[in-house]
A and B are shown apart, each in its own frame.
Chain A
């Protein structure tokens, strides 16, 4: 009888050793990894287009204000890259092929996603403020009030910014909901 129980225990150990990650969870983590890869490609494209464009403009125009603009663009790109590398560190794949590891990596990605929203919000404000100040001087405007009432400026301040803020808040709520769910099922 004791031998039989040992046999059963051994079978149970072997059976549970084929740790099966629920397909939904595995698919969601794989989809997250694909999104991260696409994110990196998009950032490379941004760097090449925006950074390359600013640099080319500075080289061609040789104007001091455009050179300042190009330097600022590259500083912001460097900050964005540093932040994105830090946020993606350790979040590429689960440490083992177990349900626990898949849940942990999903939680980590959601936490990093929430941090990213705040950092992106700060970067958005900094970039917008810099662009407005730079444009003000570049265009040789004399009145701040008149400049701020220009249709393009109003469009960015009153339409684009609230839309971006609303999208960020919606996305943050979605991430928080997913995070609460996943934390409640932490094994």
Chain B
């Protein structure tokens, strides 16, 4: 599977960020309004799910062999907005929080001896880039997920469509506006079974569109998000490397190992 990427824009801040959950996105549906539609009978269709295994493999085993610290620094320098990108994807990751609500709701249709299948579509009204969320789809756009339900599980791989979805994220003390647009395929690393606890620990993104954070716009990129780590697959002349932002710092993984860099000192060391 090929993943086109391009990066443009200017670096705005180097402060490590803390992801800000998109306020209210995870609000429970219980207080909301549910409408009712009579469905026709027959087994509900299960939508096809994207296969991101190739991309996952690329993250697990980058192909390039960088070899020395200057080359590592050069590779990191090719994405100067890495921390902004990390902040943006963490904010985007929060957009899929309602999956947990859907899991609870759909889970109530299942039970012993019952098989559930079909589709769950979640339309998130994006909160906007202001300090107070404004859930107005016309103003701030939408983020729509289409989940496949099969054998009492929500498939961990799914697609979503962002339409001028505006949100914000925080990088240090700076609040940055984000705009997400296009088709995004995601993989949570495993299926979500009804009736069982679920904690999101891993999200792989493949964006066929753009994500703008601050003044930087990234097009057709992928990313892998874990609770304490953001990874970004970058092509170099020698092959692919994985750039990362973690609690330990910024670094790079290549075919031979993991490099951790001190941004201020401008040094990198292999672990």
Do A and B interact?
no
- Residues of A near any B CB (own CB < 8 A): none
Q: Which residues of B contact A (CB under 8 A)?
A: none
